[in-house]
């Protein structure tokens, strides 16, 4: 499935992001890009479970939050950030193993509600245990460098996209898509559906946990429970659906649109960008299940190339 | 302890009414309306607005009901009606997604219009309580129980005694057979959906008398869906006892673990029920 053209293009984009901090000195843009990488990480990992395996989760904020929390606590406890990040991912996967797997036992239509309940439990519990903001101590603030955050976020985002790409373009990916399209039929064909769903959930939550770690590493000070807020589950759902469910490029496009809109309306009250995104989301669920990605396929359909292929 | 139980029962009645609206739509149409709580909050804002005009909150229920009924009908026509032909699993999933988008829309619109401040309706009798055997019974809570009982009786009579109500029951039991018997499914769905939002008007006033903020909808939806799962999908009569059960359970959990974990208990019970009894605790097991 790997086309040489895609590889060249991807490498080019990645290289561009790598040299970007050397060319642009704007901290605003770099921070924006860190958030972009974070959104891509979240959306792409959500997409593995929601888009490819068809298990719509509204509870990824729990995995995001636990990843952020554990990474932060480990990192502040003098453990190197790479290890702390890994610890956050493992913690998220563990949480998914303990409470997410039972949720997968539900009939798949109830999975969203079950995970929503799970994330609300996590939010309330953490809000009760850690009611205060976690600020960095002065030595950490002195040593704060944006470029290390930038590269780590880039690394995690690229890693996520690669992992999802690899999983999807393998035998496992076929099994996941089969489960999404018809679980009963997949089961009848000998696909061990429950096992594959668990696999997708664990990978997805691990990557989301890494994303949480990036957030914890990037922010100087935040209330611990904010990473458990439901908006962190809604964000990947929205961006993936709008970009294109079950595609690799879709979540990236969706994240880009979301970030652009949220920057345009950054100073308004009541989050107009969510308003616009919510409305678009409804329209897309109703009329355009393929998301923005299917629009690009339309342009191909009506392009000269397709015309030539069909008639000449 | 006794006082905690009283509050549990009073809250439980409120949960029962919230769940009634969700159960009607979920049981009959297999639509899961995540935005139900947001509509309750919208109703609460409407009632607050009318209260500032000098109308008593309980007197504003009919007007809010009518508005919510119209909103429901328009909304159903515009979006949810496209899902009627889908198979059950997809129907639940897609209605959930659409209502999820709706919830985001309503919550953020409400924040935009009324800001994120917590508000409440405060008529002169809002703190009034009766004393009975050394227990305090708040007037508003008692009104809630009363309204819940009245509402369930009306709904019962509607579903069993009127022609349209019987068609709703028929569709909930087997919508294909119902359509073969000449029942207009689309119309039934439309009106059931609108009625479900109408039912949101009473909890919206009761919640308005407590306290509400634009983003509180999802919490109330959660209470509702927990009760629906407790009572069993498609079983409208189990909703009220299940609501009381949840209320009392929450009260006991406050007694044991403290107030901050009140919400957690209900949600944890919900997840357990979903895993152990996917069709709900009590009630008829209707297979769709």
Task: Answer whether A286 sits within 8 Å of B105, measured CB to CB.
Answer: no
User: Mean pLDDT, 10 residues at a time, over chain A (312 residues)?
Assistant: 71 82 80 90 92 87 91 85 89 88 75 85 84 72 78 90 89 87 85 88 93 88 82 88 86 89 73 81 82 74 66 62
**Contact partners, residue B223, CB within 8 Å, separation at least 6:** B15, B18, B19, B246, B266
Give the residue extent of every domain in chain B. Answer: 2-276
What per-residue confidence (pLDDT) applies to A303?
A: 67
> What's the pTM value of the predicted model, to 2 decimals?
0.86
Task: Answer whether B105 sits within 8 Å of A56, measured CB to CB.
Answer: no
One CATH from 1.20.120, 3.40.50, 1.25.40, 1.10.3470 for B2-276: 1.10.3470
What per-residue confidence (pLDDT) applies to A94?
A: 92
Interface test with A, best of B77, B97, B272 (most A CBs within 10 A): B97
Structure tokens at A257: 């649109």
Interface test with B, best of A54, A116, A237, A277 (most B CBs within 10 A): A116
Beta bridge partners of B132: B135
Q: Does A120 contact B at CB distance below 8 Å? A: yes
State the CB neighbour count (10 A cutoff) for residue A11: 10
Which residues 123-182 of B are in CB contact (within 8 Å) with A?
A: none
Q: Interface pTM (ipTM) of the complex?
A: 0.81
- pLDDT digit string (tens) for chain B, length 288 residues: 777 788 888 888 888 889 888 888 887 777 888 889 899 998 889 888 888 887 888 888 888 889 999 988 998 888 887 777 777 777 788 888 888 888 888 888 888 888 777 788 777 776 677 777 767 777 777 888 888 888 888 888 888 888 888 888 787 777 778 878 888 888 888 888 898 898 888 888 888 888 888 888 888 888 888 888 888 776 777 788 888 888 888 888 888 877 777 778 888 888 887 777 766 665 444 443
Please report which helix (H) or strand (E) contains residue A136, including its range. none
- Could you tell me if A59 and A92 are in contact, meaning their C-beta atoms sit under 8 angstroms apart? no
Task: Answer whether A286 sits within 8 Å of B89, measured CB to CB.
Answer: no
Q: Residue with structure tokens 């909890």?
A: B203
- Could you tell me if B99 and B35 are in contact, meaning their C-beta atoms sit under 8 angstroms apart? yes
The partner residue sitting opposite B105, judged by closest CB among A107, A241, A278, is A278
Q: Does A282 contact B at CB distance below 8 Å? A: yes
């Amino acid at each position: 499935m790997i086309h040489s053209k895609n590889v060249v293009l991807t490498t080019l984009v990645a290289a561009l992001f790598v040299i970007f901090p050397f060319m642009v000195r704007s901290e605003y843009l770099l921070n924006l890009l860190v958030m972009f990488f974070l959104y891509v990480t979240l959306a792409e990992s959500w997409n593995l479970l929601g888009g490819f395996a068809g298990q719509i989760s509204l509870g990824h904020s729990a995995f995001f939050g636990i990843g952020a929390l554990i990474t932060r606590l480990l990192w502040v406890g003098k453990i190197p950030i790479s290890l702390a990040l890994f610890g956050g991912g493992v913690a998220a996967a563990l949480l998914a193993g303990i409470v997410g797997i039972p949720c997968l036992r539900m009939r798949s239509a109830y999975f969203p509600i079950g995970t929503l309940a799970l994330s609300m439990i996590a939010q309330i519990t953490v809000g009760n245990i850690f009611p205060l903001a976690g600020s960095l101590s002065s030595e950490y603030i002195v040593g704060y460098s944006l470029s290390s955050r930038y590269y780590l976020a880039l690394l995690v985002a690229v890693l996520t996209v690669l992992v999802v790409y690899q999983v999807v373009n393998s035998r496992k990916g076929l099994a996941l898509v089969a489960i999404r399209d018809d679980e009963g039929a997949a089961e009848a064909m000998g696909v061990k559906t429950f096992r594959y769903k668990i696999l997708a959930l664990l990978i997805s939550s691990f990557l989301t946990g890494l994303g949480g770690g990036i957030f914890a590493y990037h922010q100087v000070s935040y209330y611990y429970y904010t990473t458990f807020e439901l908006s962190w589950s809604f964000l990947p759902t929205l961006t993936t659906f709008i970009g294109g469910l079950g595609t690799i490029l879709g979540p990236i496009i969706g994240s880009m649109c979301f970030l652009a809109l949220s920057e345009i309306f950054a100073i308004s009250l009541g989050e107009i960008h969510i308003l616009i995104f919510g409305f678009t989301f409804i329209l897309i669920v109703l009329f355009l299940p393929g998301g923005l990605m299917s629009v690009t396929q339309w342009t191909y359909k009506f392009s000269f190339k397709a015309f030539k292929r069909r008639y000449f | 302890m006794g006082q905690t139980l009283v509050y549990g029962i009073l809250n439980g009645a409120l949960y029962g009414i919230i769940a009634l609206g969700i159960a009607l739509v979920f049981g009959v149409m297999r639509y899961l309306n995540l935005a139900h709580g947001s509509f309750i909050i919208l109703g609460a804002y409407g009632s607050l607005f009318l209260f500032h005009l000098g109308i008593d909150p309980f007197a504003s229920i009919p007007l809010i009901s009518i508005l919510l009924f119209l909103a429901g009908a328009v909304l159903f026509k515009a979006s949810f009606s496209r899902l009627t032909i889908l198979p059950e699993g997809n129907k639940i999933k897609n209605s959930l997604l659409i209502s999820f988008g709706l919830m985001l829309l309503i919550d953020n619109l409400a924040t935009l219009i009324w800001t994120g401040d917590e508000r409440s309706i405060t008529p002169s009798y809002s703190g009034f309580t009766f004393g009975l055997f050394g227990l305090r019974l708040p007037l508003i809570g008692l009104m809630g129980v009363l309204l819940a009982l009245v509402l369930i009786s009306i709904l019962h009579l509607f579903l069993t005694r009127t022609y349209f109500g019987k068609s709703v029951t028929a569709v909930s039991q087997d919508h294909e057979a119902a359509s073969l018997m000449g029942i207009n499914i689309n119309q039934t769905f439309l009106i059931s959906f609108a009625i479900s939002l109408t039912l949101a008007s009473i909890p919206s006033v009761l919640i308005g008398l407590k306290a509400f903020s634009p983003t509180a909808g999802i919490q109330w939806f959660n209470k509702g869906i927990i009760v629906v799962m407790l009572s069993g999908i498609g079983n409208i009569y189990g909703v009220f006892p299940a609501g009381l059960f949840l209320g009392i359970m929450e009260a006991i959990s406050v007694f044991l673990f403290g107030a901050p974990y009140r919400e957690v208990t209900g949600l944890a019970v919900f997840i357990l029920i979903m895993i152990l009894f996917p069709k709900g605790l009590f009630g008829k097991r209707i297979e769709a």
